[in-house]
Amino acid sequence: MPERTCIACKRKSDQGFFWRVARDLEGRVALWKGLGRSAYICPSADCLEKAMGKGRLERALKCPVGEENRRILREELICKLR
Ligand SMILES: [Zn+2]
């Protein structure tokens, strides 16, 4: 199992541990299990907030992420924490 790295805290683990986000078929960055360049985030509030910081997702995914997209993704992930 290849190791992945959290874009917030740089912790390494196997892919199944993390939330995986990538561009979906509509071009929106979201939780996504399909193909494509992905970013990995620990399922924790701390890493979520850090990962939403300016530039982090963009650097990991090598694409721009709009503010609206970022807000929706953040809410989606916060829901999963509950
Ligand atoms: Zn982390």
Ligand 1 centroid to Cα of residue 18, in Å, is 8
How many Å is the maximal CA-CA distance in the chain? 34
pTM of the model: 0.92
Going from the first residue of the chain to its last (82 residues), give the mean pLDDT of each consecutive group of 10, the final group possibly shorter.
Answer: 93 96 92 88 98 95 95 96 88
CA 52 to ligand 1 center in whole angstroms: 12
Q: How much distance in Å is there from the Cα of 16 to the middle of ligand 1? A: 13
Topology given in CATH for the domain delimited by 3-81: Hypothetical Cytosolic Protein; Chain: A; (3.30.1230)
From the CA of 1, how far away is ligand 1's center (Å)?
19
Domain residue ranges of the chain, discontinuous segments joined by +: 3-81
Tell me the CA–centroid distance for residue 41 and ligand 1, in Å. Answer: 5
- Tens digits of residue pLDDT in 16-31: 999 999 999 889 999 9
The pLDDT, as a whole number, for residue 14 is 95
Name the burial class of residue 14, with classes exposed (0-12), middle (13-18) and buried (19+) by CB atoms within 10 angstroms of its CB.
exposed
